[in-house]
Amino acid sequence: MKLVISSQVPEEILAPLKGVYSLDYHNSQVPLTKDELKEKIKDADALLCPLSDKIDGDLMEAGKNLKMIANYGAGFDNIDLEAAKERNIVVTNAPAPSSAVSTAELTFALILASARKLVAGDKMLRRGEFHGWRPTFYLGSQLQGKTLGIIGLGNIGKNVANRALAFGMEVIYYSRTRKEDMEKEGLVYKDFESVLKEADILTLHTAYVPDLHHMISKKEFALMKDSALLINASRGPVVDEAALVDALKEGQIAGAGLDVYEREPAVEEGLLELDQVILSPHLGNATFAARLEMAENAKDNLLQFARGEKPQNQVN
């Protein structure tokens, strides 16, 4: 069987796969174009792809022999599941416990950097504008005593909450289901609008479904404190980036820290011009531990499929 791997992956998983599949390995960080990927999968039985590859029905149609798509990542909104179902193509994802921890840590890095203006301060110093300590120079916000609002309290949201509690923050949350275990730890459940209104820092940790497109837009920014910070390390399309630019320019909120983007890898032009925004290149779970754990899960899914077993992480 032929397996196309459309992006560079950890070397550790290649040897086991070579024992079962004939590999067509794109050993590069540069993504294949859609036409290049079409050409590669035209005689492939399986595809291992990152979540940045958009796998739609048109692409699947080019892979006449395609029987499995193994997504390298916990999410799978990059794959048209309905098109896969129509063609009897098995789709798997690669969740990893380390991914939630790594993404929560990156989220907190954005929170701290935004609250203390670290990136803008770094740029200012490099421009030669630092003239020594002064009582009112470059003041930021202390986290202790501030209210962190979390939208979406899955594994990542819970990890962020635990870190916030350690910093002495008040934590409120909105989620589709109440999390009584976390409420026993001190979290307070609020409705969606109340979280927006009360949060000093609002952080998003929802999965992405079409209903959540632009969940945070003009109306939501109008509800937030003018001193509030927005953090997004979930999915780009949940935030209306054009509305975010307007909210920042008009002083509706004070700043933002983003790790994901609405039209990734493109970024709203206006965001690039604003010093009160920290832009991170989708590094949420970009740690050695998390990515290797994902790789092992993706590899196991592919090997199980090759043996005629149901893959452990089948999502369709």
Q: Tell me the pLDDT band of 247, cut-offs 50, 70 and 90.
A: very high
CA distance 59 to 104: 34
Active site residue 235: yes
Catalytic position from the list 82, 86, 264, 269 = 264
Average model confidence (pLDDT) across the chain? 97
Active site residue 82: no
Backbone angles phi, psi at 258, to 5 degrees: -120, 135
What is the structure's pLDDT at 207? 86
What is the structure's pLDDT at 185? 96
For residue 236, the one-letter residue type is: G
Looking at the DSSP assignment, which residues form a beta bridge with residue 22?
Answer: 2
**pLDDT tens per residue, range 13-24:** 999 999 999 999
CA distance 12 to 106: 25
Catalytic position from the list 205, 235, 241, 268 = 235
Token pair in block for residue 199? 């949060």
What is the structure's pLDDT at 205? 97
Sheet with 170-174, side-by-side order of all strands: 188-189, 170-174, 147-151, 201-204, 229-232, 255-258, 277-279
Looking at the DSSP assignment, which residues form a beta bridge with residue 6?
Answer: none
**pLDDT tens per residue, range 123-176:** 999 999 999 999 999 999 999 999 999 999 999 999 999 999 999 999 999 999
Whether 209 has a pLDDT exceeding 90, the answer reads no
Q: Tell me the pLDDT band of 75, cut-offs 50, 70 and 90.
A: confident
